[in-house]
Amino acid sequence: MNKFAFLCMLVLSITLSTGRSNAQSYDMFVGTYTNGTGSKGIYRFNFDAATGDVRPVSVIESPNPSFLAKYENRLLAVNEGEGEQATLSLFDIETANVKLIDKSTTLGDHPCHVAFDAAGNVALVSNYSGGSLALFSLTDNRTKLILHDLLEYEGSGPNPDRQEKAHIHSAFFNEGLAYVSDLGNDQIHAYSLSHDGTDLRNGALTLNEQTVIHTIKGGGARHLTFSADGQILYSLQELTGQIAVFRNENNEWLLKQIVTLYGDGFEGKQGGADVKISPDGGSLYATNRGDANLIVHYTVLPNGLLEWQNKYSVQGANPRNFAITPDGGYVLVANQDTNRIVVFKRDQYTGDLEDTGKRIEVPAPVCILF
């Protein structure tokens, strides 16, 4: 081989190797509870999808950042507190030197969830104890938070300990609508958004209710996810450890199936926490804390209904949020009470999970975001 051919092959090898490395490395953020846990706030890692290993990058100091949302170079965190300590923080994450660029109160106690809309210009914050939903816009190149609307909910459910009043637990966007889960009242509210001007800094941005979906009585609607075509809704029930499956038929969401998060023979306290569908749309996973400490796996059938596959110990206690890597190759579960994230390898064909034995030590982790 002549010197020119050798150099060409070397350059090609380096190029391909670099491309693979970039494609298999993901920015990863972990939200935590900081009160009495030793945590500083948000932990940033680099996750290597070729090996399942992580490299610590930085720590972003923030009080009780219990849920995160990301759009391009902006990161939102709800700071779960009361009164003036209940806030929404906006960070610039374009470089390793993360900057807090704005912060706003959420006007409701214990904000527990935040979501960007598809364009990254609107954010919804769920105030759990406050029983309210806060609507924000991000203006001036997403450097300013403006609070436009606050919806306060009423009602209660049959569980007197957990459903004594409204408890807004999450909001997710699907096909231009926002779907808001009220754990206290066993309802999901669907809203459209309207704005009476061309600039989000001026004019009113409002939520307009389109429909109300009634979930399982006493179930405690917490989080939800959608099928790839947006026509099947999967609502996780925290209090009963179930998933309610709804299909959109002629603009009406009809209950089609109820499945469990624990399998046959389980007796104990339920604690449904999070639910997600794999990037390929073929598998649904959900965590169950309480006494179960499991992540369960269902196959998503062609008609959108679910078929039980397996359950896996999370090798820890109080699994909250979990995340699937963008390539679908791994599932990472945040175990709040055992201060670690467990890394599962995911079979791309069957959806089966295998414990890799890898652990990421983080104080009180409750949210993982890629």
Q: Domain containing 155 — which CATH number?
A: 2.130.10.10
Structural domain contains residue 83: no
Q: What region, left, alpha or beta, does residue 307 occupy, with left being phi > 0 and alpha being psi -120 to 50 degrees?
A: beta
Q: If you count DSSP H runs as helices and E runs as strands, how many of each does the chain have, helices first? A: 1, 28
Q: What is the pLDDT of residue 133?
A: 98
Which of 115, 27, 119, 132 has its CA nearest to residue 78?
Answer: 115
Residue 286 CA to residue 291 CA, distance in Å, equals: 15
- Residue 125 CA from chain centroid, whole number: 13
Q: Which residues of the chain have pLDDT under 50?
A: 1-22
Structural domain contains residue 58: no
Q: What is the pLDDT of residue 154?
A: 97
* pTM across the whole model: 0.92
Structural domain contains residue 305: yes
Q: DSSP per residue over 212-260, as a string?
A: EEE--TTT-EEEEEE-TTS-EEEEEETTTTEEEEEEEETTEEEEEEEEE
pLDDT, one tens digit per residue, over 258-307 is 999 998 888 999 999 999 999 999 999 999 999 999 999 999 999 999 99
Structural domain contains residue 250: yes
Residue pointed to by tokens 């190797």: 17
Count of residues for the chain?
370
Supply the range of the domain harboring residue 146. Answer: 97-369
Q: What is the pLDDT of residue 188?
A: 98
With b for 16 or more beta-carbon neighbours within 10 A and e for fewer, the 290-321 pattern comes to bebbbbbbbebeeebebeebebbebbbebbbb
Q: What is the pLDDT of residue 203?
A: 66
pLDDT, one tens digit per residue, over 151-184 is 999 999 999 999 999 999 999 999 999 999 999 9
Q: How far from 309 is each of 59, 63, 149, 259, 300, CA to CA, in Å?
A: 37, 39, 42, 12, 10
Structural domain contains residue 14: no
Which of 208, 104, 231, 219 has its CA nearest to residue 169?
Answer: 219
Q: What is the pLDDT of residue 195?
A: 80
Q: How far from 276 is each of 217, 227, 249, 264, 329, CA to CA, in Å?
A: 22, 10, 22, 22, 14
Structural domain contains residue 30: no
- Split into its structural domains, the chain has a count of 1
Residue 370 CA to residue 359 CA, distance in Å, equals: 17
Specify whether the CB–CB gap between 82 and 139 falls below 8 A: no
Structural domain contains residue 77: no
Q: What is the pLDDT of residue 205?
A: 87
Structural domain contains residue 298: yes
